Structure 1
Amino acid sequence: MLLARNILLVDDEASWLRTLSVTLQRLVPEAVIDTCVDSRQVMNRMAVTDYALVLLDLTMPYQSGEQLLQQIRLEQPHTRVIIVTGVNEVDTAVNCIKHGAYDYFIKTDDVADLGHSVRRALEVVGLERNYQRIKDSFLSKTLSQPKAFSHILTCEPALIDQFRYLEAIAFSPEPILIEGETGTGKQAFAKCCHLLSSPDAPLITVNLAGIDAQQFAAQLFGQLSQTPGQSVTGAIHKAAKGIIYLKDIAELPLESQAILVEVIEQKHYFPVNSDQHYPAHCRFVVSSQHPLMSLMQQGKIRSDLFYLLQSHKLNLPPLRERRLDITILLNHFVELAAQELNLTPPPVPSELAKQLQHYPFPGNINELKSMTIDAVSRSSANALNIAPFMQAINAVMPPQLDSTPIHFGAELPTLAAMSQALIDEAMSRTAQNQTAAAKMLGISQSALSRRLTKEK
């Protein structure tokens, strides 16, 4: 099942078929239209091609439209049928609707109304199919295309649920909204959508930070110029049937948001300096660092765009809610950093991942990656230098004094022995990192260094 865009036009009048095909292609440019003049071929055509919608004449030789309507609804229940005929009879129209026709039009009716009905029917079929995909996907607990997610490391059930949801909606023509804090992997999920739905078509990223309305229009729609060689091809044309990833939608000016709404709804666009519109076959994936609801309430997002982006929504959890993944990601980034720096991967202290589980990671995965690269660059082959991690932990969560009373035996230890025991414990907890151990003990690093030197 692909996108709900395929339409079959059936009529024994070849000239009318050509006229109707051209008209619908203009009114519904996202549709893929086939024609059939022989009613005997309809069911065979439908067995080979997945049609979302059939436009059917009633008075045809061999098989009537009413017979075909009943057969299509019986054998292809997920396909909608619109009757387009010259028969203007109320009883006939009522009978067709009773047998499952989605709508009934007379050939002399306004073609614009027919175009609206066709688009509504495609939307209905698309919603039904998406619902069925989502239902089947969640009932199945497995991924049918796990390779599309191989660049995301996780064992968190909540994130794997997001994989299944994205797999279920991958072929929907509706836009996808990805919400999540900075560094949570929104671009990685946009790549997943691309690999699932259109791996052979382009994935084009448009960063909306600092963009104005004029730049947005030129970048997305392209710009025509009277000067030879000065015209610019827009992202929609380049993407073809691929994905356009709009990064950080809150940065887009409100006037440009209105244009984006029109493109998504009408499935066509106008290049700058052009009066002719062109079909938009691409799909939009939109990301936001903040919940769109709060942005709309602040007046940063238009309400029509907000509701348009509610069709398919992913909410990516922050790293602090992915505790099971910290060890996996830490080891992965150590290997990656060592490879980039042409070093031997240093062993990771077993206590480090446990300590990081309580760190809030305001920068999420990107922050962990940067910390790890810094740590590997300072490390020897014998041990990972954990100073970058401890500095971040102590900055956000300064060490707390333990209020638990200390119980002594019959003989009190000497001050020197107690001092040495504290130093040994601090060095052990920080994997022999003097800077972190000194902060834990409340002394300067130089003072700790002198004490350690005196020991030797």
Structure 2
Amino acid sequence: MKLARNILLVDDEAAWLRTLANTLNRLVPEAQIDTCVDSRQVENRLNITDYALVLLDLTMPFHSGEELLAMIRSEHPNTRVIIVTGVNEVDTAVRCIKNGAYDYFIKTDAVEDLARTVRRALEVVGLERNYLKIKEHFLSRTLDQPQAFNNILTCEPQLLDQFRYLEAIAHSPEPLLISGQSGTGKSEFAKSSHQLCCPEGPFISVNLAGISDESFELKLFGQLKHHDDGQVTAQAGVLHHVNGGTLYLNEVGALSIASQLKLLDVIESRQYYPVGSERPYPVNCRIVASTQDDLLALNQQGLFRSDLLYRLRAHKIHLPPLAERSLDLAMLINHFIDQAAQEMELPPPQQPRDLASQLSEYRFPGNLHELKGMVFDAVSRSDGVQLNISPFMEAINEHRSSGERPQDTIVFPKVLPTLAQMNQALIDEAMSRTANNQTAAAQMLGISQSALSRRLKG
């Protein structure tokens, strides 16, 4: 299912049809408008093109609008219908709504109201189709485009679920919010999202940390300068350059309230005004934002707008810290060994067999960035045969000496649970943390997969 933007306008009055198409092109620039003056062609047009929305006149030769409404709701249930007619009758309007019309408009109504309804209808169709696609992907447990994730190394079930989710929402027009600690791979997930939705378009990243309101506006919107001699010079912003691609806004939590309002307006109106211009320009890109901050906590402190928060969270994924990716640790170390050896022009040393298990209790506060630095340091100190583990042990000892506990302390209730209750609680927690993956849960509990399976059946 593609992005829900196609609209078919059906009316036997050609002049009105042209006027309506021009109006919607101006007020809903993200939509793709087709027109049809012959009601006999509607069924064939719908069979050829997957329209998200149809705007129907009621009184037409050959097939009435109500006949076409019944056909569309029966044969194309994923397509919404808005009646736009000169028939101003309450009974007719009520009957159309009962028969499945999304809304009912009189041709003399304000076109701005119609445009807002069209945009809401497109959003509804998009959400419905995304839900169906997400459901299909999670039931199939397969990826259609695994190559989009070649830049991410993992075998963790929770991250593989995120792959399927990203693929399911790839063509949604709504923003994507990626949250997680620094160094958890947010930019790599943003690039994967780009590969899924618009690989032929540009990918432009903007770091919002420390950016001023003026710089934010100039960076995104660009500027038109009017000189005394009548000449106009233009400086294009990233919203112009990213046309047809992905705009990645890194550290969106750092934006000021004033800049947040400007970003919200871009997302809601799908248009922007360059500084010094009174003419709006359409926004034609996917917006992906990331943050290491808790935006809900910032909102409760009055530092982040509620309306922007909920628009950004239309689609969201949270990336776990490296300390929760024990299944990936050995694989990531080998990847960074190969990378370091290639860049330093050294022979790649062998990873000690027990290194990953020795690091299993280390919290990696710097996540992937820290692990990569450790491995590069270790490769530089190695003899070309075995990886020098000194950088890893030094980091572990430093954090132990600074008072960091290697693991969380279990807090027992006043009445101690039985051993059977503790066993069950541990199994439930391991299954929850691994998304019901028995192999991963068994490894976490230190038992075999068959032993865990027997306990689950018992």
Aligned pair 1:183/2:183, yes or no?
yes
Q: Name the residue aligned to 2:28.
A: 28
Q: Give the match for residue 51 of structure 2.
A: 51
Cα distance in 2 for partners of 1:270, 1:346 equals 55
Structure 1 residues 327 and 399, CA gap change in structure 2 (3 angstroms): farther
Aligned partner of residue 325 in structure 1, secondary structure: helix
* 8 Å contact from structure 2 (residues 80, 125) kept in 1: yes
Question: Partner of 1:141 in structure 2?
Answer: 141
Q: What residue in structure 2 maps to residue 66 of structure 1?
A: 66
The 5-angstrom pairing of residues 23-422 of structure 1 reads 23-226=23-226, 230-398=233-401
Structure 2 Cα separation of the partners of residues 352 and 324 of structure 1: 13
- The structural deviation recorded for 1:230 is 4.4
5+ unaligned residues in a row in structure 1: which ranges?
401-456
Match of 2:12 in 1: 12
Number of residue pairs the alignment of both structures matches? 400
Q: Distance in 2 between matches of 1:393 and 1:43?
A: 68
What is the distance in 2 between the residues matched to 1:22 and 1:229?
A: 28
Deviation at 1:208, TM superposition (A): 0.6
Structure 1: distance between partners of 2:184 and 2:25: 41
Matched residue, 1:449: none
Return closer, same or farther for 1:229/1:26 CA change in 2, 3 Å cut-off: closer
Give, in whole Å, the separation in 1 of the partners of 2:393 and 2:295.
35
Secondary structure of 1:61's aligned partner = coil
* Superposition CA RMSD, Å: 1.5
Amino acid at match of 1:377: S
Deviations 1:125-172 (A, max 9, x none): 111111111111111111111111111000110111111111111111
Aligned to 1:97, what secondary structure does the other structure show?
Answer: helix
- Equivalent position SS for 1:159: helix
What is the rounded CA distance, in whole Å, between the counterparts of 2:303 and 2:144 in structure 1? 38
Q: Is the 8 A contact 2:348 2:385 kept in 1?
A: no
Instruction: Say which is worse superposed, 321-330 or 340-349, in terms of deviation.
Output: 340-349
| Secondary structure in structure 2 of the residue aligned to 1:350 | coil
Alpha-carbon deviations, 1:287-314, whole Å to 9, x = none? 0102211121233211111121221110
Once the two structures are TM-superposed, the CA of residue 19 in structure 1 deviates from its matched residue by 0.5
Distance 1:190 1:49 in 2: 30
* Matched position secondary structure for 2:354: helix
Post-superposition offset of 1:229: 8.2
Give the Cα separation in 1 of the matches to 2:210 and 2:91. Answer: 60
Normalised TM-score (structure 1): 0.85
1:36 alignment partner AA: C
Please, what TM-score do these two structures have when normalized by structure 2? 0.85
Aligned-partner residue type, residue 91 of structure 1: D
The answer (yes or no) to whether the contact 2:333–2:371 under 8 Å persists in 1 is: yes
Q: Percent identity?
A: 62
The aligned amino acid for 2:168 is A
Q: Deviations over 1:264-291 (max 9, x none)?
A: 0111111111011111121211101022
Residue identity in the other structure for 2:334:
N
**Change beyond 3 A, Cα 1:353–1:121:** same
Q: Distance in 2 between matches of 1:207 and 1:230?
A: 26
| CA displacement at 1:398 relative to structure 2 | 4.3
**Counterpart residue type for residue 277 of structure 2:** S
User: Could you say which structure has the larger radius of gyration?
Assistant: 1
Shift of the alpha carbon at 1:91?
2.1
Tell me the equivalent position of 2:436: none
What is the letter of the counterpart of residue 158 of structure 1? Q
- Note the alpha carbon deviations across 1:386-423, whole angstroms, 9 max, x for none: 221111111012499xxxxxxxxxxxxxxxxxxxxxxx
Q: Is the 8 A contact 2:260 2:305 kept in 1?
A: yes
Counterpart CA distance in 1 for 2:168 and 2:342 is: 36
Task: Point out where structure 2 has 5 or more consecutive residues left out of the alignment.
Answer: 404-458
Using the TM superposition, give the Cα deviation of residue 382 of structure 1 relative to its aligned residue in structure 2, in angstroms: 2.0
